[in-house]
A and B are shown apart, each in its own frame.
Chain A
């Protein structure tokens, strides 16, 4: 079972988070909500993925270009066959492209898209704030009481 509580304003939501605890709660809103209590902090590794993407794509492209130049040495104006200066431009662009795709991957993973877990439909188009939290059997009444005391306008109970 899970509970979904609806709040009119941020202070009430923060009070509810403090009283109900922050474990496995999810806040749904139509705009980003900055919660002062430090609840709903989501550490992520998106920047790591971006850097990994950049390193992988940049290195891969550099090695590929060096290989092509060995595969068919192309003489241009007496310049060295292999030189990092002129291929550096494409290596750089490939690294940036890798970073773009790394960021996209991180975004999709951290945003948990395509997992078919939708929140309250009203959340994307209203000024209300929603707090969803798991509700172990037998604790529903106590949690509902706590959420109402914190300022929830309504609390709904639904199956997982």
Chain B
């Protein structure tokens, strides 16, 4: 065996090693996550059985944690889009060890986020009313409704991101079919579609990846714009804004990078992939996180300054509630988490280490969840008719379902890293070769 061949074999063994066996720690983590997910399923079952009365939703606050989580998770799904698609199109070589981790976040976050409109519907069995077919009175769905836009956009993004994740997996499935035995080998063989490594297949894969990168970018931008339209198409104070769509897209990319940093750190530590997910990858992601932190501040400042200067009483009512009322502390925390912490830790080169980058990632995740919370709640709790103002306190059902979504993400990821190599073997070998 030549030295180059030996090096390639070592890479394969390293990247395929996490797939074999599961330690006690892994099993305990998976069981813990599964338990929380099961609790979430029970809570949702209770809600279906008893109705929305088991939630904290009450007049005038009809959107609570469910919609906050919906916007948050759809935002997280932008991790794969940015890291994988943009960097693939710009031929940035350093992206290769992180693309699959990012693409998996996209798919899983989208699956989780897409559940929330269903959970929020209450009578979930009537979901099919959104589908484009006429009811018994020959009435078609209202295609002008943002709810129908949501469904179309999310399903399109789900199909696109699944294909975007699956295509680069095909050569790895072929490899796994060779290196495993039994049922696993058969399943991998089926999923590899008969991949033989022929040059025309590599050409087709390269073209498809490039095309899908362009398409998925176009879809991702539209998806979070549509989520923003859910708010901005209404005439509600501090929602009816022309910059909401780009503001949401920027925030989504921001939180997506935060999630990616956290997931990468976990993969690096627990799968012992320190030689592959190197400090340079974290450093580059840290710089991107810093950039997006500044972009986020720019959008937030533009939005708030415009409202303040307009001094529209209806908008100022909500503005004051956000800044000084019951949501004041959350507003401060949001700015600290989304700007102050990342700006200091990532802006000063000496402080930019893997632990601080990961801490910034956690901070951004918390901050962006708070941002979604602050967009949804104050406007609803402070309607134009002041006498109708209300409050919102999430119920145990909502809290358990929220916890279950985070556990779902962890569980899906735990299963994923045991099913396929989390770093694309062929891409990494190609990069090492180049």
Question: Which residues of A are interface residues toward B (Cβ below 8 A)?
Answer: 8-9, 26-33, 40, 42, 44, 46-47, 50, 64-65, 68-69, 71-72, 74, 76, 79, 83, 86-87, 89-90, 92-94, 96-97, 99-100, 103-104, 106-108, 110-114, 116-119, 121, 123-128
Main secondary structure of the interface of B (DSSP, over half): helix
The residue that A111 contacts in the complex, of B132, B148, B201, B429, with Cβ under 8 A, is B201
Are A30 and B429 in contact, CB atoms less than 8 angstroms apart?
Answer: yes
* Residues of A with C-beta under 8 A to B197: 28-30, 119, 123-124
Q: Is the CB of B208 within 8 A of A114?
A: no
**Complex-state Cα separation, A99 to B171, whole angstroms:** 23
Chain A's closest residue to B225 (CB) is A89
Q: How far is the CB of B19 from chain A (nearest CB, A)?
A: 14
* B93 shortest CB reach to chain A, Å: 14
- Given A64-B132, A104-B163, answer yes or no on A28-B212 (Cβ-Cβ < 8 Å): no
Contact status B196-A46, CB under 8 Å: no
| Stretch of B133-141, B378-386, B404-412 lying at the A interface | B133-141
B204 touches A111 (CB 8 A): yes
B139 touches A44 (CB 8 A): no
Q: What B residues does A126 contact at CB under 8 A?
A: 5
Does B101 count as interface, using CB distance less than 8 angstroms? no
* Cβ–Cβ < 8 Å partners of B40 in chain A: none
Q: Are A127 and B9 in contact (CB-based, < 8 A)? A: yes
**Whole-angstrom CA separation of A76 from B199 in the bound complex:** 55
Do B163 and A100 have beta carbons less than 8 Å apart? yes
Bound state CA distance, A40 and B134, in angstroms? Answer: 52
Roughly how many angstroms separate A65 CA and B152 CA in the complex, as a whole number?
A: 13
User: In the bound complex, do residue A112 and residue B201 qualify as a contact, i.e. CB atoms below 8 Å apart?
Assistant: yes
Q: How far is the CA of A113 from the CA of B198 in the complex (A)?
A: 11
- B184: min CB distance to chain A, Å: 15
- Contact present for B200 and A29 (CB under 8 Å): no
B143 touches A90 (CB 8 A): yes
> 10 shortest A-B CB distances, which residue pairs?
A127-B5, A86-B144, A111-B204, A110-B204, A68-B140, A119-B196, A107-B208, A123-B197, A125-B178, A42-B203
Contact check, A89 vs B229: say whether CB atoms are below 8 A apart: yes
Least CB distance from A134 to B in Å reads: 14
Chain A contacts for B8, CB-based, 8 A: 30, 127
Interface residues as binary, B189-219 with A (CB distance below 8 Å gives 1, 0 otherwise): 0000111111111111111100110010011
The distance from the CB of A33 to the nearest CB of chain B, in whole angstroms, is 7
When distances are taken between beta carbons in the complex, the residues of chain B under 8 Å from A113 are 193-195, 201
Closest to A71 in B: B140
Expressed in whole angstroms, the Cα–Cα distance for A128 and B174 within the complex equals 16
Q: Is B34 an interface residue (CB 8 A)?
A: no
A94 to B153, CA, bound (A): 9
Q: Return the chain B residue nearest A103 by Cβ.
A: B211
Residues of A within 8 A of B12 (CB): 125
CB of B226 within 8 A of chain A?
yes
The answer to whether A114 touches B194, judged by C-beta atoms less than 8 angstroms apart, is: yes
Query: Shortest distance in angstroms between A119's beta carbon and chain B's nearest beta carbon?
Result: 4
Q: Which residue of B lies closest to A32 (CB)?
A: B202
A28 near B208 with CB under 8 A, answer: no
Contact of B156 (CB < 8 Å), options: A72, A97, A114: A97
Whether B160 sits at the interface, judged by CB under 8 Å, is: yes
State how many angstroms separate the Cβ of B179 from the closest Cβ of chain A: 6
Which chain A residues lie closer than 8 Å to B160 at the CB level?
96-97, 100
Are the C-beta atoms of B215 and A72 separated by less than 8 Å? no
B275 interface hit (Cβ, 8 Å): no
- Contact A97–B159 (Cβ < 8 Å): yes
List of A residues within 8 angstroms of B134 by Cβ: 68, 71-72
Would you give 19 A-B contacts (Cβ < 8 Å), ordered by A? A26-B199, A28-B197, A32-B430, A44-B204, A46-B204, A46-B207, A46-B211, A72-B139, A76-B144, A87-B143, A93-B153, A103-B212, A103-B215, A106-B207, A110-B203, A113-B193, A116-B194, A124-B174, A126-B5
The closest CB in chain B to the CB of A130 belongs to B197
B429 and chain A: residue at smallest CB distance: A31
- Tell me which residues across on chain B come within 8 A of A65, comparing CB atoms: 143
Q: Which of A33, A50, A94 contacts B199 (CB 8 A)?
A: A33
